[in-house]
Amino acid sequence: MAISRFLIPLLLLVAPAVAPAASKLAASAYTKLDLDRCTEVEHEDEGSWARWKCAGYGRIPLWVEVGDERFDVDAGDRPDDEGRFGSTFDSPPSTVEWRHSAGRPFAIIYRLTTANPDVPTTSLLVVERIGQGKTMGCRVAEIPGSTKNANLRARAIADAIPAGRTKCLGSR
């Protein structure tokens, strides 16, 4: 009985502190990515390079670049200036996961799949910070798709972005 009298006041003290944090928890939304429904905004015939602007989440656009059959996806009004491309041919994602808090997106997660007939099929989960305002978008993580709990790890990394606990990966 003494324990319950002790716990009730403690819970009353802790509850207000937990409530604001709970309302800021990150959630996921998903959008489909179909390059046939996107607008090509730039291309170079030499070098097989192109960039598309695609519908994203809310009013935040997706930017898809391809260079030599290697893809990079960015989001926001300040996309990455330099595409970060893999070392092997890959396919663009068909779905993009948007991490958001209270409907405000701060990161995207997508999966690139190898498209090179000379190597076994693998995948890579990519975490990108959304470029908004003065903040440039960038890639913050690459997680091999075969990694245990890869999706959970990608979300944890993405969810650290609003607190400033992530850094952009360097160019290859």
Phi and psi of 154, rounded to 5°?
A: -60, -45
- How confident is the model at residue 16, as a pLDDT? 37
Examine residue 2 and state whether it is found in any structural domain, yes or no: no
* Residue with tokens 């999706």, as numbered in its chain: 151
Examine residue 1 and state whether it is found in any structural domain, yes or no: no
- How confident is the model at residue 42, as a pLDDT? 87
Provide mean pLDDT across the span 3-30: 50
Provide mean pLDDT across the span 2-31: 52
- Using pLDDT thresholds of 50, 70 and 90, give the confidence band for residue 24: low
- Using pLDDT thresholds of 50, 70 and 90, give the confidence band for residue 80: low
Examine residue 102 and state whether it is found in any structural domain, yes or no: yes
Quote the CA–CA distance of 165 and 163 in Å, as a whole number.
6
Examine residue 170 and state whether it is found in any structural domain, yes or no: no
Examine residue 9 and state whether it is found in any structural domain, yes or no: no
- Using pLDDT thresholds of 50, 70 and 90, give the confidence band for residue 54: very high
What CA dihedral angle connects 136, 57, 155 and 103, to 10 degrees?
A: 100
pLDDT in tens, 86-105: 667 788 899 999 999 988 99
| Percent of the chain's residues with pLDDT above 90 | 48
Examine residue 13 and state whether it is found in any structural domain, yes or no: no
Examine residue 16 and state whether it is found in any structural domain, yes or no: no
Structurally, the chain folds into a number of domains equal to: 1
* Residue with tokens 């007939």, as numbered in its chain: 117
| Percent of the chain's residues with pLDDT above 70 | 78
* Residue with tokens 């509850």, as numbered in its chain: 15
pLDDT in tens, 149-160: 999 999 999 999
Which structural domain, as residue segments, surrounds residue 143? 26-159
Full-model pTM = 0.80
pLDDT greater at residue 98 or residue 10: 98
Examine residue 166 and state whether it is found in any structural domain, yes or no: no
